[in-house]
Amino acid sequence: MYQLLSGLSIIEVSSFVASPTAGLYCAQMGAEVIRVDHKAGGLDYNRYMLTSEGRSLSWENLNRAKKSVALDLQSGEGRELLVELAAKTGQCITNLPKKSFMSHAALAARRQDMVSVRIMGWHDGRQAMDFTVNAASGYPLMCGPEEWDPATAPPVNQVLPAWDFITGAYSAFALLAALRHRDASGEGSEVRVPLGDVAIGTMANSGSLAEMLYRGSDRPRLGNAIWGAFGRDFRSRDGQRFMVAALTPKQWSGLVAAFDVADEIAELEAELGVRFADGDTPRFVHRKRLFDLFQAASERHDYADLAARLAGQGCTFERYRTMHEAANDPVLVADNPLFGPSPANPSGFGYPATRSFAHMPEKQVGDPRPAPYLGQHSEEVLAERLGLSSGEIGRLIDAGTVALSDRN
């Protein structure tokens, strides 16, 4: 919770993951982010899983540090209020359709220098979500055991909605870039960020698109091995599974020393006529022989011993944990300055909450702030942003156009 964006206000009209993430990252850097939902809650308001009080933990965490306004967005008056709020504020993030009542044209008609960031499915207007664009990208058909028959093997979906989170982060960046442009030129901008383009573009940026076209075929499945380098999961004598990776000469020499396999490596190099210290290529090409060698060495040690050896050599490694184990690991959470004390969450459930991912050693970081109750800030925002009197707001509340906090 740094205040680098203090003074910047953003209207957010969104649901699910990508769009709320963009607003969350801005809020964690000090922006006033005002999320506006339909008075009954957005499409993600009751997203699984719910606490016994009926509060969504997903919604609670994606909307930390924001303000909440609840309007009847099925009514003309409610929509008019939202458009006016966005125009008065000057910048908004949304994933509503481009031809909705929140179109950029409708906003720019009220304010010429309006900046809107719109998260879409595909660039041509088709709907999409993380797991469908991931299916199109090819990644699920790269995952799975190496021995699976390519002709019959099923896809393996990743559990993390990575494209949603990457899209949210990119959208926050795009918003700030558009605002910087407006500061310099006075011009507003309409910015569209299709989820599908983020996925396919990331595939291209990683070199994978060029690789597929160059090789003229797909990559084979590699199980848990790292493509193009040395790395895989191993199992210690006491049954602990851990991941190691060696992409640099120092990481490789550290692994060889930590596993105490210098003699075996020398013998294998002599047999194959290669030097594994020469780079990724010989280590990747002969990975199966190396994996067998390192697994045999792993089985001579308990994990605690191996971890001490690996850490002493500056290796890159980590033990596999369940997510429940990770949530209870003091190194990852309780003793990690990323996390602050639990704020007064709407769910009533207390747990560590994240600060900004970016750490600035010379600046004081504040504690995490809670998510709002739906409609908690309706009166405040309408009065401050639109200048509505208490009487006018009271009329809107009586008419059902504006809803107040759902705390009770």
Active site residues: 164
The b/e string for 90-115 (b: 16+ C-beta within 10 A; e otherwise) is bbbbbbbeeeeebbbebbbeebeebb
For residue 143, the SS3 value is: coil
Interatomic CA distance for residues 124 and 120, integer angstroms: 9
User: How far is it, in rounded angstroms, from Cα 404 to Cα 68?
Assistant: 9
Burial (0-12, 13-18, 19+ Cβ within 10 Å), 404: middle
Written in H, E and C, the secondary structure of 46-75 is CCCCECCCCCEHHHHHHCCCCEEEEECCCC
Residue found under tokens 């919770």: 1
User: Coil, strand, or helix at residue 29?
Assistant: coil
Look-up of token digits 């851990």: 242
How many other C-beta atoms lie within 10 A of the C-beta of residue 343? 15
Distance between CA atoms of 24 and 60, rounded to whole angstroms? 11
Handedness of CA 238, 239, 240, 244 (dihedral sign): positive
CB 233 within 8 A of CB 242: yes
